[in-house]
Amino acid sequence: PSVSVAVAEPEPVTVAEPEPEPEPERVAVAVAVAFAFAEPERVAVAVAEPEPEPEPVTEPEPEPEPEPVADQRPGGEVQVLAGG
């Protein structure tokens, strides 16, 4: 359905520009800096020590290869098809 809208000449409106909100990243940095000034030792430790991982990572296990599928043919011969 078509909607016809009567457009009147818009009156010039002066809009007071709102102050730009601070970006979250900048706020995070500002907070980090504030904490650094407040408690430099604690922040230095937090920055120096990465969070411990839940499990110690040893050698990564190799991904198990797809098992070869034995294709039983009616002729009695067994043909092995490699997966993938």
How confident is the prediction along the chain (84 residues), in pLDDT tens digits per residue?
A: 677 777 667 677 677 776 767 676 777 777 777 766 666 565 555 555 556 666 666 776 777 777 766 665 566 556 666 665
Number of continuous H segments (helices) and E segments (strands) in the chain: 2, 2
Torsion of CA 22, 25, 31, 36, to 10 degrees: -140
What pLDDT is stored for residue 59 in this prediction? 73
Q: Give 43: exposed, middle or buried? Use CB within 10 Å, 0-12, 13-18, 19+.
A: middle
**pLDDT at residue 73, rounded to an integer:** 56
Q: Model-level pTM?
A: 0.19
